[in-house]
Amino acid sequence: MRIGHITLANRLFAAPMAGVTDRPFRQLCKRLGAGYAVSEMVTSRKDLWASLKTSRRADHQGEAEPIAVQIAGTDAAMMAEAAAYNVERGAQIIDINMGCPAKKVCSQWAGSALMKDEALALAIVEAVVSVCSPQRVPVTLKMRTGWCAAEKNAVRIARAAELAGIAMVAVHGRTREQGYTGQAEYETVAAVKRAVAIPVVANGDIDTPRKAREVFAATGADAIMIGRAAQGRPWIFGEIAHYLATGEDARPPRVADVKLWLLEHLEDHHHLHGDFSGVRSARKHIGWTLRGLPGGDAFRVEMNGIESCAEQLRAVGEWFDALADTQALMPSAPVPTQRAELH
């Protein structure tokens, strides 16, 4: 699997998600089997680049290559400048966001709203590619099937983007109008794959190894992208890889291993986000991991009252030690009900 001249470890990707796929989480996903992971979206507004939020999103210190940064905006020149800014700071792949359905993004005509203005969408693609090509930085595009059911224009946009120099297209199998409701469909993804020669990535509702195999078969996609199913279960990438290779389910991870992965992730998370923000933003990662485990609901309540990073680490470690005394392996986890903003 290649994006431009860059060879990836495999064809299992971690989807960009706002508030989730920061550098520590991307590192964890890659460690546990993802061949590729994309950053949370970085705004093209220059006045916000120095903000703490954006600076954290642009932190790639120690990250395993390739480093992929997603940018979002509505002005071609600003998007080109944002691409150049992130390449200077280590981005090896630039991804253009035309997939986010969040109202706060689409109300500014960014994200998947760009699919409603194909001329602007193409102008942005051309501007970003023109900046990145001389640096040998591939540009990719993340989009939906279309703006609404009556106007599924993913194939048309993919063809134009390919001609403009886009190196890969990822398609979430829903329209902007759907948001995250209903079921993802893969017919449009398959149509995009047939229409272009560049790699195509299928995204949406891939939550088990069997579903991954079904989506590969239904779409002919070169890779799949997993979002919510990796929340609290980042080892899903390894599970899928094992199933695709052997046709058999992987052995569930040991509780002791999950404890080690989570504690190391939390330490990295705390270091990036600081004591005050880190302990609070880490709660969702802990909660996702505890989902479906005996006593998990009660511990989440206790966790919300902890405001020290050191105390959070201690409490999590002790809780998993107690769990390991009662069961050695992790049970199957349900797919998250919380809808993170997948880009």
Give per-residue pLDDT as tens, 212-255: 999 999 999 999 999 999 999 999 999 999 999 999 999 999 99
98: nearest Cα among 151, 29, 147: 147
Q: For 93-121, what is the mean pLDDT?
A: 75
Q: Which residue has the higher pLDDT, 154 or 54?
A: 154
176: nearest Cα among 107, 229, 231: 107
Task: Return the CATH number of the domain spanning residue range 2-246.
Answer: 3.20.20.70
Domain positions in the chain are: 2-246, 255-324
**What is the distance of C-alpha 48 from the center of its chain?**
22
Burial of 257 (0-12, 13-18, 19+ CB in 10 A): middle
Phi, psi of 263 (to 5 degrees): -65, -40
Alpha helices by DSSP H, listed for 165-295, are 187-195, 209-219, 236-246, 255-290
Task: Give the rounded percent of residues in the chain with a pLDDT score beyond 70.
Answer: 89
pLDDT given at position 162: 98
pLDDT given at position 244: 98
Q: Which residue has the higher pLDDT, 99 or 284?
A: 284
Look up residue 326 and give its DSSP letter: T
166: nearest Cα among 77, 101, 96, 247: 96
pLDDT given at position 211: 97
Torsion of Cα atoms, 126 then 128 then 131 then 133, to 10°: -70
* Contact status, residue 254 vs residue 243, Cβ threshold 8 Å: no
Q: How far is it, in rounded angstroms, from Cα 325 to Cα 212?
A: 33
Catalytic residues: 100
**What pLDDT digit, counting tens, does each position of 133-190 carry?**
999 999 999 999 998 888 899 999 999 999 999 999 999 999 988 888 899 999 999 9
Q: Is the pLDDT confidence value at 43 over 50? A: yes
DSSP-derived 3-state class of residue 204: coil
Q: Is the pLDDT confidence value at 334 over 60? A: no
Burial 172-188 (b: 16+ CB within 10 A, else e): bbbbbebbbeeebbbeb
pLDDT given at position 294: 92
Burial 56-80 (b: 16+ CB within 10 A, else e): bbbbbeebeebbbbbbbbbbbebbb
